[in-house]
Structure 1
Amino acid sequence: MRLFEVIDPDRTAKNVADFLSGKGRYKYRGYPKLLEDEQVFGKVSSSGGDITGVHGSRHNWVEEVMIDKAHCREAISCVKDAINTCLPAQRTILKERYINGAKRGIVMQMVLIGGNDEYQDADIVARTRFAAALDKFVKARGCEDLIPPLQVWIQEWE
């Protein structure tokens, strides 16, 4: 007998759905929160045009906000790049169903899938493929503090 790791597609797919839509355990760490944070960081500016922060302060808070915004943008880029690694129908499923919140039937028509079972399989494959790519991008770009791993690994004995 040997031990090896296998991805749990159902739990991984659930994590992706919750992450992209900002629900469940990803309510405060999901993709919508990243977009919101990036937008808020863009609204922060220094008073009087001084980018060095508060006069006489040792702490340059404006610079820190700019760094945080850049880091947040990098995390958003990870999500977009992971979506772009997917096939066209998979990209449509991810963007329309989970980011834009379209109804399942509408998305089925968009990707030209007629049967519920066929769509369910395509949906799970799209989400697991996205999770695999995203986890790699996040690790390579150092965004683990903003995007948690989405793949769920199970151990199986053979």
Structure 2
Amino acid sequence: MAEAHLLLGSNLGDRLKNLEKARDYLSKYVGTLKGVSQVFITQPWGFECQDMFYNQAVLIDTEYFPKELLLKLKNIEILMGRIKPRKDSYASRIIDIDIIFYEDFVIKHAPELVVPHPKMTERRFVLEPLSQLSPHKKHPLHKKTSKELLAECEDKNFVIRL
């Protein structure tokens, strides 16, 4: 079994229900949920939109290797009705599930699989829930904890606990 930190996000429909449904699918198809952060209300990052996101960090034990895990996560997104925008653009979504950490692996199979998530240190909406869930988890490249990375994050977008 491997430990993976994921970030869930939703800004369409019943966002709390979407996060709950995603957690249910993760338990059913991916592995054992070991922990979840609180839900945070966050501003869209990288695009203009009226609908705020709900984000939540999740810790799972999984038997899947990273590429298999990514496929499982993408299948859950499709199952929940996610429609991918054109390449390299951000858009509203019913659900988004990203791999933030997979054990202490460093994986660079760009563009589809890069772990740790390449933009996590720039995004308060990732670091707030991650720091709550696993404050002492060290980034394998930066050699800093999620709590330390949050303290250094320059992202000024708001992140509020629900």
- For the aligned pair, the TM-score class normalised by the smaller chain equals under 0.3
Q: Which has the larger radius of gyration?
A: 1
More helix by share: 1
Structure whose residues are more often strand by fraction:
2
**TM-score in terms of structure 2 length:** 0.27
